[in-house]
Amino acid sequence: MANTFQRARSEEQRAVRRKAILDTTAAMLGEMPVAQVSLNELSRRVGLAKSNVLRYFESREAVLLELLGTASQELLEHLDTALPEAVDADAPVTERADRLAAVMTDAFAERPVLCDLISAQAAVLERNVSTEVAAQYKRSSIAHVFALAQRVRTHVPELDERDAVRFVAAALMVVTAAWPHAHPSPAVLAVYESDPELAVLRLDFATVLRESLEVLLSGLLARAAG
């Protein structure tokens, strides 16, 4: 049942409204891809007129960018536990790098909403926001990249900060490209199922991401050693 709200008259009430909008959008993303999340349906579910939703967020994309920032922070918190458990600090660097690649792959693969948001970021989410919202998101994004790079360096200290940041940036680009290709439209899926020759083009997201991360780390480590 949709919530019904009176107009917020204090900062605390505004915060409650914003959280309701974010929570409702997050629930919708559990049911449908980013492309199907509409402002009309969000308004209906949260119990506010569309014009009132826009009092708290300037657009659908602004809501989704904020959720992307929250999901990125949750990924970092997960890796704070997962990486120390999986990566043996005394193992050879090649083994540590492969374990790091595997843990990061699992972390992304287990978070389809995060991957969907990442894949839509540049092409969709950043196209209908103000410069203020864009700048706020970019600051948050840069902070998350450097925080993830720091976690990479904790377990693979053979990489300097510049190379760790390059690795993280490239990893996000792989997620951006691999996610939609690994989750094609129903028409493309039907083609793959009906024509085995074309099915060779079908990608498995986790496999592509893990292998790409392994190659990226191997290349950066080889260049650093050289």
What's the confidence (pLDDT) of residue 12? 87
What's the confidence (pLDDT) of residue 1? 41
What does the pLDDT look like over 63-109, one tens digit per residue? 999 999 999 999 999 999 999 999 999 999 999 999 999 999 999 99
What's the confidence (pLDDT) of residue 80? 98
Location of each CATH 1.10.10 domain in the chain = 1-57
Where does the pLDDT of residue 135 fall: very low under 50, low under 70, confident under 90, or very high at 90 and above? very high
**Spatial contact of 73 and 144, defined as CB atoms under 8 Å apart:** yes
The C-alpha atoms of residue 168 and residue 65 are separated, in whole angstroms, by 19
C-alpha torsion angle, residues 137, 139, 140, 141 (rounded to 10):
80
Does residue 215 carry a pLDDT above 50?
Answer: yes
Where does the pLDDT of residue 13 fall: very low under 50, low under 70, confident under 90, or very high at 90 and above? confident
Structure tokens at 148: 């993830």
What is the pTM assigned to this prediction?
0.90
What's the confidence (pLDDT) of residue 7? 56
Task: Enter the DSSP assignment of 7.
Answer: P
Does residue 121 carry a pLDDT above 60?
Answer: yes
More confident residue, 73 or 8: 73
Q: For the chain, state the CA radius of gyration.
A: 20
What's the confidence (pLDDT) of residue 6? 52
Q: What is the largest CA-CA distance in the chain?
A: 65
- Calculate the average pLDDT of the chain: 94
Location of each CATH 1.10.357.10 domain in the chain = 60-225
What's the confidence (pLDDT) of residue 133? 96
Does residue 30 carry a pLDDT above 90?
Answer: yes
Where does the pLDDT of residue 196 fall: very low under 50, low under 70, confident under 90, or very high at 90 and above? confident
What is the CATH T-level fold of the domain 60-225, as seen in this structure? Tetracycline Repressor; domain 2 (1.10.357)
Q: What is the mean pLDDT of residues 172-185?
A: 95
The runs of H, that is alpha helices, within the chain are 11-29, 39-46, 50-56, 60-86, 93-109, 112-120, 131-155, 161-182, 186-194, 196-199, 205-225
**Spatial contact of 22 and 66, defined as CB atoms under 8 Å apart:** yes
Q: What is the mean pLDDT of residues 2-25?
A: 78
What's the confidence (pLDDT) of residue 9? 63
What is the CATH T-level fold of the domain 1-57, as seen in this structure? Arc Repressor Mutant, subunit A (1.10.10)
Does residue 4 carry a pLDDT above 60?
Answer: no
